[in-house]
Structure 1
Amino acid sequence: MTTSPIKTCLSHPHCTLSLEINYLQGSQTVVANKEGKLCLEGDQAIELWQKGKDIWNKWVENNPIADVDFSQVDFAQYRDGDESKVDFSQFLFPVGNVSFSLAKFGQGKTYFIGTKFGKGDVYFDCATFGDGEVLFVGAKFGEGDVRFENAIFGKTEVNFTNATFENGVVDFNIATFGGKVCFDKANFGKGIVTFNKTNFGVGGVSFLGGRFGTGNVDFSGVNFGEGDVDFSSAIFDKVNISFENTKFGKGNVSFVNTTFQGRNLNFNRANFGEGNVYFDEASFDSGLVLFTSIISTGMFSFTDVHGIVNVDFRNATFSGAVSIANVSFCGVLDLVNTKLSHQISLQNLKIILCRERYWLVFKIATDAGDAERLNRLKELAEINKQHQQALRYNADEQRARRWHDMSKAASLLDMTFSAMCNYGQSILRPFVLLLSFMVIFTVPYTLQSDSLEFSVNYNSEMMFFSAANSLPALTSARKASENGMKQIFVGQNALAPIYAIMMLQGIVSAILLFLIGLGLRNRFRI
């Protein structure tokens, strides 16, 4: 029997204990120190790894609580040529911290396929991977933090498909990727996920079907390189999500069918590069979506999205076509000061002006800034010759200004205009009012008549007389009114009240006829 002591792990902050391994007939007997926790590091860790996953996993089965430290290990010296691989596939790690900090994996493939880490933290910070594919496919990380900050990957594929992270922080800050990166269907658990200032290379970046948990998600300052970026069908839970100051490259950017359940989504000052951008059929359950001061060179499509509350594109610059169509907003879309080089499509765009009670019986816009936003939407609709849409935005703009920018008298007058014709959008309302006033004015005419007859013939004459006074511009109506005066009010001396009623009816009728004409003009405007 030979004994090989393992050094105290104080040389690296992630492992702080010591152990002794006794080699006997190919098996390992591990002696724990007084703290009851082991630390496998250096040559002993390398030697055990080289024996393969079965012996390694057996050791972990016998030593379920231990730290493992491969920090600063140069795995290149253990490769047999560039075609060989550093393989930790199906390896099980004990409950404890695992460190590959500052490790150098060299040229060639590196596999952590189906690897299962324990409940401790996992460190790959400042690790260097060469130009071989790096696969963490199906890897399971425990409840601790997972840190790849400042890690450097080569020019080939890095794949975390179906990887599972638990409750800890997932940190890829300032990491560098040279080739294609895939996190498809990865589950990021409940911890914070941060890729702050990460640099991606010429390959595409995919988080297709990825699931982000209840921790905040930070992609701010990321450089996505030259490939496509795909977050299609990804799910972001109820967290804050930031892509602020992110730079997308020459490829397309897709958030198609992505679900954003978070409180806020921030793309402020993001540069979407030369590719097309797609948010089609994305779902936004709540919160504020910010695209302030973004730059988009290709086509920008924001169609058929669901659950939008507030979206802010203020000061954005679009060099390609923009489509914000088939969308219903629970607020007012902000396109103020946007710069457009091509036509913007606002087809079937619906907004809801949020208002609250004012003086019990009135309503006032909850945000006075909605008037400015609606004015911009009206301007864009007019440029696109979408007249009906422009009318709707104009109506909501006036409602937003009411009680804020308008005096009380002006606000009351504006309310009357809205009620009578919906700001020139309705033909039916003033037409019904015109008919109603024809009937209403028969009452004062009857009261001024000396006749107390209420026969069908008399009532018909009175109704015809009132209708004639409602259409004074028609020659036949004027003659019918004169004949009515002679037949209904014949022999009466006090005609001044009757003429006063006729003038009042003429004024009311003229206003209503104008509103009918306004509605016809707006309805059939070319």
Structure 2
Amino acid sequence: MEFKKPNLLSKEASVALWLQGKDAWNVWAKKNPDIGVDFSGVRFAIPDLLQIAPNNKVLLKANAEGDFSALTFVNYTFPHLADFSNTEFNIPAIFDNGTFNGTADFSKAIFSQNASFNGITFNCIASFYNAEFQNSIVFSDCNFKGNTLFTFSHFEMLAYFPSTTFHEVVGFDHSTFAGGTHFKNTKFLCKEVYFEYINCTDTFDFDELDAKKVITLSFKGSVFEKDFNISGHFKCVPDLRSTKLNHHTDLTSMIYTLNRKKVFFTPIKKVTDTLDIGRLCRLKELAEQNKSHDMALAFHADELRAKRWGRLNIVQSVMDIIYSVTSNYGQSIMRPLLLLVISFLLFNSYIISKSDIEIKSAYKPAATLSIATITPFLSISKEARGHSAQVLFEKQLPENFYLYSYAYASSSFLFLFLVGLGLRNRFRI
């Protein structure tokens, strides 16, 4: 990936300035905020560095003692573009507590030793496009204020991003993670995060995140050979379509938002992204595979909500709303039970108000008649219903009695069914 390059120090001048140490470097950086440094293609190995800066005392001492602790970029400030593209680090790459005020270009760089970027601030684009990390890499407590690109990168061993903050687009598409990968307590203050078509052959921890601003989180087409852990609060539906997961995946700690908007000035809400239907369907499949019935029900419910007023026609959408309100798509027991009690009380009140006997005497036969009306499958109900009707209505049945009875019986039977469905879903093994 190429970036527009400002005035750059030559490679020889950049290496020579680096070898003078942090203090000399930072004094120069403060005086030259519009000049970048060029380390592109440099091979950070003592013999190669000596060819660029022969007779350098720091290099000669490091070569003699085998101590590379002085050959770091700790606390260095890069005033403008820092071009490390195609660089090869054969010594530990230590950039701790540094600051990149311009683009940090590490595209196609090779890190054959441990690399450390702890406490780094990237004030512009940070590109590790097609970089190769052959040893452990740590980005702890970093602050990425610009776009962050790790596309097509390869992580051979541990890749660690704890407590790091991302402010703009984050891309790890088509990368390979051969060691453990950890994004614990990471803050994604950006809107878009992409891990599409990655290949992870070890544990991938993407948990305890602060990602409430993320509206696009995609793992589409990725392969996870071992544990994949994801938790946090997302302002979107994570995209796990076309993923391959070979181990158990726990989705119970993942909180997401199904984004819907009102249609004009009506109370009707329609999903903002129709792709959420497929995303929720995939999450439901994963929950079912892992025997997480509660999560599967929750994903199925949101999948139906996403289809409402779109894939479902008007009649289907209205029926879907009724199903949602009365039982939360079979997830609630209390809702249909409460509606059943309300319908019982309403019909009971109607019978008492129309009875030919005193109100005090009508309570018991009215309750019996109400219960018998909704339990025709019990053998005693027919006799109890007839006897109670005779007691309550000595002369004749009130007008529209059968019509109200049918309405009450039908609605109550529906509520009984939903109570049973809720019990079945609650205690399903």
TM-score tier, shorter chain, comes to 0.7 to 0.9
1:146 is the counterpart of 2:67? no
What's the offset of the Cα at 1:153?
1.2
Counterparts of 2:36 and 2:10 in 1: how far apart (Å)?
13
Code of the residue aligned with 2:144 in structure 1: it is F
Contact 1:471/1:477 (<8 A) preserved: yes
Q: Please, which of 154, 168, 171 is the counterpart of residue 266 of structure 1? A: 171
- Contact 1:173/1:194 (CA < 8 Å) preserved in 2? yes
Alignment of 1:241 onto 2:143: no
| 1:482 aligns with one of 386, 389, 408 | 386
Shift in Å, 1:500: 3.1
1:522 aligned to which of 410, 425, 429: 425
After the TM superposition, which residues 68-83 of structure 1 pair with which residues of structure 2 at under 5 Å, given as runs? none
1:114 aligns with 2:23: yes
**What is the CA-CA distance between 1:103 and the residue it aligns to?**
6.7
Structure 1 residue 433, shift from structure 2 partner: 0.2
Which of 349, 355, 359 is equivalent to 2:254? 349
Q: Deviations over 1:185-228 (max 9, x none)?
A: 11112x22211111222x11110111111x1221111122x210
Q: How does 1:35-114 map to 2 (within 5 A)?
A: 99-102=9-12, 110-114=19-23
Q: CA deviation at 1:144?
A: 2.3
Q: Counterparts of 1:361 and 1:104 in 2: how far apart (Å)?
A: 63
Pick from 308, 312, 328 the counterpart of residue 406 of structure 1.
312
Q: What corresponds to 2:267 in structure 1?
A: 361
Structure 1 counterpart of 2:207, from 281, 303, 309: 303
Give the AA of the match of 1:278: H
Equivalent-residue separation in structure 1 for 2:131 and 2:320 (angstroms): 49
* Residue 129 of structure 2 is aligned to residue 228 of structure 1: no
The 3 A distance-change label for structure 1 pair 438 and 99 is: closer
Of the candidates 323, 330, 336, which is equivalent to residue 235 of structure 2? 330
Per-residue deviation, 1:403: 1.2
Q: TM-score, normalised by structure 1?
A: 0.71
Question: What is the CA–CA distance in structure 2 between the aligned matches of 1:218 and 1:105, rounded to whole Å?
Answer: 21
**Offset at 1:253?**
0.3
Assess, with a 3 A threshold, how the Cα gap between structure 1 residues 183 and 120 changes in structure 2: closer, same or farther.
Answer: closer
* Alignment equivalent of 1:188, drawn from 79, 97, 100: 100
CA contact (8 A) 1:116 1:141 kept: no
C-alpha distance after superposition, 1:446-473 (max 9, x if no partner): 56x463x562332453344223323333
Q: Counterpart of 2:89?
A: 177
Q: Which runs of 5+ in 2 are unaligned?
A: 1-6, 47-65
Asked if the contact 2:107/2:130 (under 8 Å) is kept, the reply is: yes
Contact 1:141–1:165 (CA under 8 A) maintained in structure 2: no
User: What secondary structure sits across from 1:395 in the alignment?
Assistant: helix
Matches within 5 A, 1:362-381: 362-381=268-287
Report if aligned partners of 1:119, 1:143 keep a CA contact under 8 Å in 2.
no
Offset at residue 503 of structure 1 (A): 2.4
The alignment status of 1:165 with 2:78, answered yes or no, reads: yes
Give the conservation status (yes or no) of the 8 Å contact 2:10–2:37: no
1:502 aligned to 2:405?
yes
The structure whose residues are more often helix, as a share, is 2
> Cα 1:120–1:112, aligned 2, differ >3 Å: closer, same or farther?
closer
Identity %: 31
* Per-residue deviation, 1:161: 0.9
Amino acid at match of 2:244: K
For residue 72 of structure 2, what is the amino acid of its counterpart? Answer: N
Q: 2:373 aligns with which of 469, 483, 491?
A: 469
Structure 1 runs of 4+ with >6 Å offset: 103-106
Change (3 A) 1:333 1:98: closer
The aligned counterpart of 2:122 is 212
Matched with 2:109 is: 198
- Take 1:105 and 1:491, find their aligned partners in 2: how far apart are those partners? 109
Match of 1:278 among 182, 193, 203: 182
1:290 aligned partner: 194
C-alpha RMSD over aligned residues: 2.5
Task: Check whether the contact 1:324–1:346 (CA below 8 A) recurs between aligned residues.
Answer: yes
- Residue of structure 1 in register with 2:220 after alignment: 314
Contact 2:159 2:181 in 1 (8 A): yes
Which protein, 1 or 2, shows the higher relative CO under an 8 Å CA cutoff with sep ≥ 6?
2
Q: Partners of 1:363 and 1:454 in 2: how far apart?
A: 50
Matched position secondary structure for 1:311 = strand
Contact 2:161–2:183 (Cα < 8 Å) also in 1: yes
Say if 1:174 and 1:196, in contact at 8 Å, map to a contact too.
Answer: yes
For structure 1, the residue ranges without an aligned partner over 5 or more in a row are 1-96, 122-139
What is the aligned residue count?
A: 397
**Partner residue of 1:419 out of 312, 320, 325:** 325
1:49 corresponding residue in structure 2: none
Q: Please give the alpha-carbon distance, in whole angstroms, between the structure 2 residues aligned to 1:104 and 1:302.
A: 38
Alignment counterpart, residue 435 of structure 1, candidates 331, 335, 341: 341
Query: How far apart in 2 are the matches of 1:286 and 1:456?
Result: 67
Give the letter for the 2:11 counterpart.
Answer: S
SS at match of 1:404: coil
Which residue of 1 is the match for residue 292 of structure 2?
A: 386
- State the 1:146 CA deviation: 2.2
Change over 3 Å in CA distance of 1:510–1:389 after alignment to 2: same
8 Å CA contact 1:197, 1:221 repeated in 2:
yes
Residue aligned with 1:323, SS: strand
Matched residues in 1 for 2:32 and 2:337: separation? 71
Once residues 160 and 9 of structure 2 are traced to their aligned partners in structure 1, the CA distance between those partners, rounded to angstroms, is 35
